[in-house]
Amino acid sequence: MKKLKKRFIIPAVVFILGMCALIGAIYVVGKSQEQQNRTNAKLNAMTYTERIYGELMEGIGVTDSLKQVVISGDGNINRFYDIAANMMDDSIQSIQIAPNGVVTEIYPEESNESSKIDLINDSDRGEISRYARDNDTVIMQGPLELKQGGYGIAVRNPVYLENENGQKSFWGFTIVILKVPEIFSESVEALSSFGYKYSLQKFASPWDDTYEWVYGSKEELNNPVIYDFNVYGYKWRLEILPKSGFYNNRYLLYLFIGGGVIVLLLAGLTAALISINENRKNFKRLAVTDALTGIYNRHGFDEQVEQYMRQNPQKHCVVAMLDIDDFKLVNDVYGHAAGDGALQKLAESMKQYFSKDVILGRNGGDEFSIFMPDCTVEEVKPFLKKFTGETKKFYCKGEEHTFTISLGFAEYPVLADDRSQLMRCADMALYEVKMRGKNGCMAYREGERIKSRAKLGFAVKDIIDNMPGAFIVYRADKENDEILLANSELLRLTGCKNMDELLAYTGKSFCNLIRPDEQESCQKSIWSQINGGHSNDYIFFHMRKADGTYISVLNHGRIVDSVHNGRVFYVMIMDLKSLQRHYGDCLELVEK
């Protein structure tokens, strides 16, 4: 009888426990599936929100470009139709200007409203246009049904002109009508192809927090993933939901049926646990890894170091902090892609140079951290000096370029009680290296007064970027006068939005900033002064702007021997018209 009971009771208990385990496993797998699908949906929402934002900003950028043309022309815009034609693409319905708020020019004229529209006093457009004018902010109205068919979003960018007294006055609007959904067609098509239902919405107006539907699935999405973003003060919202929902019910049904057999139940359960565990590890790895360089990010680095110091509180160890010297110049001169390449090359050299037990991390930007366990400062000092002194290279357009690093390091527990204090010591040593001329390696010395981080940044950023005058650096080479750096005031004076635009229209040559008929005489004057043993005195010429017009300027420079670029000119450029306006007729002699 007992044997009979065991024969039935034990299998029954195993069956019941197995069924409980199966039901529990199905629940866990279902929740994990939902979480994983939600995570994927969040990542997709984040990715395509960025793309939609970029597509919208690219369309809105048309009004910014047109605005700069109006400002540079002091309120006059010539060849509007030629300029607008160059800005048009398939996602734009029309480009318009509205001096004093009245639409006077529309491109293309065909199939668009040709009558003048008073935006300020129009019943449908007036309130929001007045808001844009009074608050000096870009507004987006729509989606509006277009007379040509389809829908569009009207972007109006207020333009203010500044007189010689610094007073601003409203000029009017630069306007672009963006087609919906063409403006973000690539993003929404990609979402659809990935099997998502979606809904794109935005605030109806800057003062109204009610969302209005822009494009997508008109029906309400049940418990979707939501991602909000802002465009010029307008809150936009992207909602996405897998077409089949977050649960795959068919899979769960098959799992339940297969679980009737205990062996298959165990095998399926094991496979599910392995899959879940692997997903967990992958997400954890992604959370602590820097995507660009493949080494630990700041969070991952701190976590690893904390764990080591917690487990080995008495062992000596060293933390080093380093960064790339003049990394901003690398980005400005060669572009951010080259800057990323330099960061990757530096990370690769660190992985090759240091042993496997050394923890490597990127703090952010061009700053890296190195943790060396079970060692002292004296032991690693020669090793770190050798690494700092090695030539480091990156490539831009197939050409090889070199860069240097600065490194500071400190020892635990000699100078610090915990990780954060140890990293602060290493950071202070790093900035002491910066203060001494960069491209060096130094250990932190207890009690030393090291200048603050803020003072170091003063030299490069505040003096160059915020210099109250136009400033440019170019090679002192008659055959290759390549432009290396220009500050924001020089970009403003030439009518450029950024350094890339300046390099594009000059072909990277300083000579191309000079009016063609003056190039030879200007260059001859500059080099005759240099060859005569004098610094570059004041030189007068007409400087070509990005829009092809010319302004009268004075050039005053110095020739300098640069460690990385050889002989270069540091040049201040002054707008002669501005000088005459402030200092009177005495400057007319200079132009003559």
Instruction: Give the pLDDT confidence of 305-331 residue by residue, as tens digits.
Output: 999 999 999 999 999 999 999 898 888
The more confident residue out of 449 and 393 is: 393
CA 72 distance to own-chain centroid = 27
**Residue 508: helix, strand or coil by DSSP?**
coil
Omega into 413 within 30° of 0, i.e. cis? yes
pLDDT over 70 at 7, yes or no: no
What pLDDT was estimated at residue 381?
Answer: 95
450: confidence class by pLDDT, cuts 50, 70, 90: very low
222: confidence class by pLDDT, cuts 50, 70, 90: confident
Cα–Cα distances (Å) from 138 to 63, 413, 582, in that order, read 9, 56, 34
Q: How far apart are alpha carbons 252 and 25 in whole angstroms?
A: 10
What pLDDT was estimated at residue 273?
Answer: 56
What pLDDT was estimated at residue 488?
Answer: 85
For the chain, give the percent of residues with pLDDT over 90: 41
Beta bridge partners of residue 205, listed in sequence order: 208
Token pair listed for 278: 């692997």
Mean pLDDT value of segment 432-448? 82
What size, in residues, is the chain? 592
What pLDDT was estimated at residue 437?
Answer: 79
18: confidence class by pLDDT, cuts 50, 70, 90: confident
CB 514 within 8 A of CB 541: yes
590: confidence class by pLDDT, cuts 50, 70, 90: very low
Mean pLDDT value of segment 284-298? 89
CB 480 within 8 A of CB 566: no
CB 289 within 8 A of CB 295: yes
pLDDT in tens, 490-518: 898 999 988 889 999 999 999 999 999 99
The more confident residue out of 388 and 28 is: 388
- Phi, psi dihedrals of residue 397, rounded to the nearest 5°: 55, 40
The side-by-side arrangement of strands in the sheet containing 441-443 is: 296-297, 359-364, 367-373, 317-324, 405-412, 441-443
The more confident residue out of 476 and 459 is: 476
CB within 8 Å of 347: residues ≥ 6 apart:
290, 293, 294, 295, 360, 362, 368
CB 64 within 8 A of CB 137: no
Q: In this structure, are strands 405-412 and 441-443 parallel, antiparallel, or unpaired?
A: parallel
Alpha helices, DSSP H only, in 177-319? Answer: 185-193, 249-258, 262-288, 298-311
Q: How far apart are alpha carbons 134 and 171 in whole angstroms?
A: 12
